[in-house]
Protein backbone atom coordinates (compact mmCIF):
# COMPACT_ATOMS: atom_id res chain seq x y z
CA UNK A 1 0.00 0.00 0.00
CA UNK A 2 2.79 2.39 0.87
CA UNK A 3 4.46 1.77 -2.48
CA UNK A 4 1.21 2.73 -4.21
CA UNK A 5 0.94 5.89 -2.14
CA UNK A 6 4.26 7.56 -2.65
CA UNK A 7 7.84 7.09 -3.79
CA UNK A 8 10.76 6.38 -1.51
CA UNK A 9 13.20 8.50 -3.49
CA UNK A 10 13.94 12.01 -2.29
CA UNK A 11 12.77 14.77 -4.61
CA UNK A 12 14.73 18.03 -4.60
CA UNK A 13 12.34 20.96 -4.90
CA UNK A 14 13.51 24.55 -5.20
CA UNK A 15 11.26 27.14 -3.63
CA UNK A 16 11.26 30.71 -4.90
CA UNK A 17 10.47 33.08 -2.02
CA UNK A 18 8.62 36.02 -3.54
CA UNK A 19 6.47 37.62 -0.86
CA UNK A 20 3.95 34.90 0.05
CA UNK A 21 4.11 33.10 -3.30
CA UNK A 22 6.37 30.27 -4.32
CA UNK A 23 7.10 28.10 -7.31
CA UNK A 24 6.84 24.33 -7.38
CA UNK A 25 9.46 22.81 -9.65
CA UNK A 26 10.05 19.25 -10.90
CA UNK A 27 6.39 18.61 -11.66
CA UNK A 28 5.59 16.41 -14.68
CA UNK A 29 5.92 18.33 -17.95
CA UNK A 30 2.18 18.19 -18.65
CA UNK A 31 1.16 19.74 -15.30
CA UNK A 32 1.14 23.36 -14.16
CA UNK A 33 0.70 24.61 -10.58
CA UNK A 34 -0.48 28.13 -9.81
CA UNK A 35 -1.40 30.04 -6.66
CA UNK A 36 -4.80 31.71 -6.97
CA UNK A 37 -7.37 33.58 -4.91
CA UNK A 38 -9.56 31.32 -2.78
CA UNK A 39 -12.72 32.23 -4.67
CA UNK A 40 -11.07 31.06 -7.90
CA UNK A 41 -9.86 27.93 -6.16
CA UNK A 42 -13.44 27.22 -5.10
CA UNK A 43 -14.66 27.43 -8.69
CA UNK A 44 -11.99 24.99 -9.87
CA UNK A 45 -12.65 22.61 -6.98
CA UNK A 46 -16.37 22.57 -7.69
CA UNK A 47 -15.76 21.69 -11.34
CA UNK A 48 -13.89 18.45 -10.49
CA UNK A 49 -15.14 17.65 -6.96
CA UNK A 50 -17.27 14.68 -8.03
CA UNK A 51 -14.32 13.17 -9.92
CA UNK A 52 -12.00 13.54 -6.94
CA UNK A 53 -14.48 12.47 -4.24
CA UNK A 54 -17.25 10.50 -6.02
CA UNK A 55 -18.59 8.76 -2.91
CA UNK A 56 -18.35 11.48 -0.25
CA UNK A 57 -21.45 12.17 1.84
CA UNK A 58 -20.30 15.42 3.47
CA UNK A 59 -22.87 17.92 4.63
CA UNK A 60 -23.24 20.65 1.99
CA UNK A 61 -23.41 23.52 4.44
CA UNK A 62 -24.69 26.15 1.97
CA UNK A 63 -27.76 24.01 1.28
CA UNK A 64 -28.93 23.96 4.90
CA UNK A 65 -27.98 27.41 6.21
CA UNK A 66 -30.84 29.93 6.57
CA UNK A 67 -30.40 33.31 4.88
CA UNK A 68 -29.26 35.09 8.05
CA UNK A 69 -26.49 32.52 8.57
CA UNK A 70 -25.39 32.80 4.94
CA UNK A 71 -24.99 36.55 5.45
CA UNK A 72 -22.88 35.98 8.55
CA UNK A 73 -20.80 33.41 6.70
CA UNK A 74 -20.08 36.01 4.03
CA UNK A 75 -18.90 38.48 6.68
CA UNK A 76 -16.64 35.87 8.27
CA UNK A 77 -15.25 34.96 4.86
CA UNK A 78 -14.25 38.59 4.42
CA UNK A 79 -12.22 38.36 7.64
CA UNK A 80 -10.71 35.14 6.33
CA UNK A 81 -9.33 36.97 3.29
CA UNK A 82 -6.87 38.77 5.57
CA UNK A 83 -5.00 35.68 6.80
CA UNK A 84 -2.07 33.99 5.06
CA UNK A 85 -3.15 31.23 2.69
CA UNK A 86 -1.70 28.78 0.19
CA UNK A 87 -4.25 27.98 -2.52
CA UNK A 88 -2.86 26.02 -5.47
CA UNK A 89 -4.67 24.86 -8.59
CA UNK A 90 -3.05 22.17 -10.72
CA UNK A 91 -3.97 22.18 -14.40
CA UNK A 92 -3.24 20.02 -17.42
CA UNK A 93 -0.87 22.11 -19.54
CA UNK A 94 -2.39 21.57 -22.99
CA UNK A 95 -6.08 21.83 -22.12
CA UNK A 96 -5.80 24.17 -19.14
CA UNK A 97 -8.36 22.05 -17.31
CA UNK A 98 -8.04 21.75 -13.52
CA UNK A 99 -6.83 18.35 -12.31
CA UNK A 100 -6.35 18.97 -8.60
CA UNK A 101 -5.74 21.39 -5.76
CA UNK A 102 -4.03 21.94 -2.42
CA UNK A 103 -5.34 24.53 0.02
CA UNK A 104 -4.52 25.71 3.53
CA UNK A 105 -4.27 28.73 5.77
CA UNK A 106 -2.61 30.11 8.89
CA UNK A 107 -4.28 28.75 12.02
CA UNK A 108 -2.39 30.79 14.61
CA UNK A 109 0.96 32.56 15.03
CA UNK A 110 2.93 29.30 14.67
CA UNK A 111 0.58 26.81 13.01
CA UNK A 112 -0.42 26.29 9.37
CA UNK A 113 -3.53 24.22 8.63
CA UNK A 114 -3.39 22.11 5.45
CA UNK A 115 -7.13 22.09 4.90
CA UNK A 116 -7.79 20.00 1.82
CA UNK A 117 -6.29 18.47 -1.31
CA UNK A 118 -7.32 16.20 -4.13
CA UNK A 119 -6.48 15.06 -7.65
CA UNK A 120 -8.60 13.44 -10.34
CA UNK A 121 -7.86 9.69 -10.67
CA UNK A 122 -5.74 9.83 -13.83
CA UNK A 123 -3.27 12.23 -12.18
CA UNK A 124 -2.78 10.31 -8.93
CA UNK A 125 0.41 8.40 -8.05
CA UNK A 126 2.49 10.77 -10.17
CA UNK A 127 4.26 12.40 -7.20
CA UNK A 128 2.24 15.62 -7.59
CA UNK A 129 1.34 15.74 -3.89
CA UNK A 130 4.76 14.48 -2.78
CA UNK A 131 6.62 17.20 -4.67
CA UNK A 132 4.17 19.94 -3.71
CA UNK A 133 4.08 18.98 -0.04
CA UNK A 134 7.88 19.14 0.14
CA UNK A 135 7.79 22.62 -1.39
CA UNK A 136 5.07 23.79 0.99
CA UNK A 137 6.90 22.54 4.10
CA UNK A 138 10.11 24.23 2.99
CA UNK A 139 8.26 27.47 2.24
CA UNK A 140 6.43 27.48 5.58
CA UNK A 141 9.69 26.86 7.43
CA UNK A 142 11.21 29.84 5.68
CA UNK A 143 8.25 31.98 6.75
CA UNK A 144 8.73 30.99 10.40
CA UNK A 145 5.92 28.50 10.98
CA UNK A 146 6.59 25.83 13.63
CA UNK A 147 3.79 23.31 13.03
CA UNK A 148 1.58 21.96 10.25
CA UNK A 149 -1.73 20.29 11.07
CA UNK A 150 -4.24 18.44 8.90
CA UNK A 151 -7.40 16.36 9.34
CA UNK A 152 -8.19 13.13 7.50
CA UNK A 153 -10.86 10.45 7.42
CA UNK A 154 -9.56 7.39 9.32
CA UNK A 155 -9.85 5.17 6.23
CA UNK A 156 -7.81 7.50 3.99
CA UNK A 157 -4.88 5.08 4.13
CA UNK A 158 -2.75 6.56 1.32
CA UNK A 159 -2.67 10.03 2.88
CA UNK A 160 -2.27 8.81 6.47
CA UNK A 161 0.62 6.52 5.50
CA UNK A 162 2.31 9.21 3.44
CA UNK A 163 2.15 11.80 6.20
CA UNK A 164 3.17 9.46 9.03
CA UNK A 165 6.15 8.41 6.92
CA UNK A 166 6.94 12.11 6.41
CA UNK A 167 7.09 12.70 10.16
CA UNK A 168 3.53 13.62 11.09
CA UNK A 169 2.16 12.17 14.33
CA UNK A 170 -1.41 11.44 15.37
CA UNK A 171 -2.54 14.24 17.66
CA UNK A 172 -6.20 13.46 18.30
CA UNK A 173 -9.49 12.38 16.75
CA UNK A 174 -12.61 14.51 16.38
CA UNK A 175 -16.21 13.99 15.31
CA UNK A 176 -17.09 16.66 12.76
CA UNK A 177 -20.72 17.51 11.97
CA UNK A 178 -19.91 18.00 8.27
CA UNK A 179 -17.28 15.35 7.56
CA UNK A 180 -17.71 12.70 10.25
CA UNK A 181 -14.76 11.13 12.14
CA UNK A 182 -11.46 12.92 11.48
CA UNK A 183 -7.90 12.05 12.51
CA UNK A 184 -5.79 15.12 13.36
CA UNK A 185 -2.13 14.91 12.33
CA UNK A 186 0.60 17.35 13.31
CA UNK A 187 4.08 17.85 11.88
CA UNK A 188 6.70 19.74 13.88
CA UNK A 189 8.81 21.53 11.30
CA UNK A 190 11.81 21.80 13.65
CA UNK A 191 13.40 18.78 15.33
CA UNK A 192 13.63 20.47 18.74
CA UNK A 193 9.85 20.90 18.86
CA UNK A 194 9.40 17.24 17.93
CA UNK A 195 11.82 16.11 20.65
CA UNK A 196 10.16 18.33 23.24
CA UNK A 197 6.77 16.83 22.34
CA UNK A 198 8.13 13.31 22.80
CA UNK A 199 9.75 14.27 26.10
CA UNK A 200 6.59 15.97 27.37
CA UNK A 201 4.56 12.80 26.84
CA UNK A 202 7.44 10.46 27.74
CA UNK A 203 7.23 8.70 24.39
CA UNK A 204 9.84 5.96 23.87
CA UNK A 205 11.92 5.50 20.73
CA UNK A 206 10.76 2.78 18.36
CA UNK A 207 12.69 0.82 15.76
CA UNK A 208 12.19 -2.42 13.84
Please write the tens of the pLDDT for every residue from 20-61. Answer: 567 787 898 899 999 998 889 999 999 999 999 987 766 565
Q: Is residue 139 assigned to a domain? A: yes
Lowest mean pLDDT among 78-82, 113-117, 125-129: 78-82
Q: Is residue 206 assigned to a domain? A: no
At 11 the pLDDT is 32
Specify whether the CB–CB gap between 116 and 42 falls below 8 A. Answer: no
Give the range of the structural domain holding residue 80, as residue numbers without chain letter: 2-200
At 199 the pLDDT is 81
Give pTM, 2 decimals: 0.78
At 83 the pLDDT is 83
Number of domains making up the chain: 1
Q: Is residue 6 assigned to a domain? A: yes
Rounded mean pLDDT of 189-201?
A: 83
Phi-psi region of 73 (alpha: psi -120 to 50; beta: other; left: phi over 0): alpha
Distance, CA of 89 to CA of 60 (rounded, Å): 22
Q: Is residue 104 assigned to a domain? A: yes
CATH number of the structural domain spanning residue 11: 3.40.630.30
Q: 29: closest CA among 76, 82, 84, 92? A: 92
Specify whether the CB–CB gap between 149 and 186 falls below 8 A. Answer: yes
At 56 the pLDDT is 73
Instruction: Give 9's pLDDT tier (boundaries 50, 70, 90).
Output: very low
Q: Is residue 54 assigned to a domain? A: yes
Amino acid sequence: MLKECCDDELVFVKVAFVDKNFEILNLPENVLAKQVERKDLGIAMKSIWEKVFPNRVDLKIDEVLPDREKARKEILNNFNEKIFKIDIIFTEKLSGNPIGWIMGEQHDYETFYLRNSGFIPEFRRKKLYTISHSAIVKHLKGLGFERIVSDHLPNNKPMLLFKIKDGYIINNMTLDDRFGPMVRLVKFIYDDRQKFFEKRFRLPDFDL
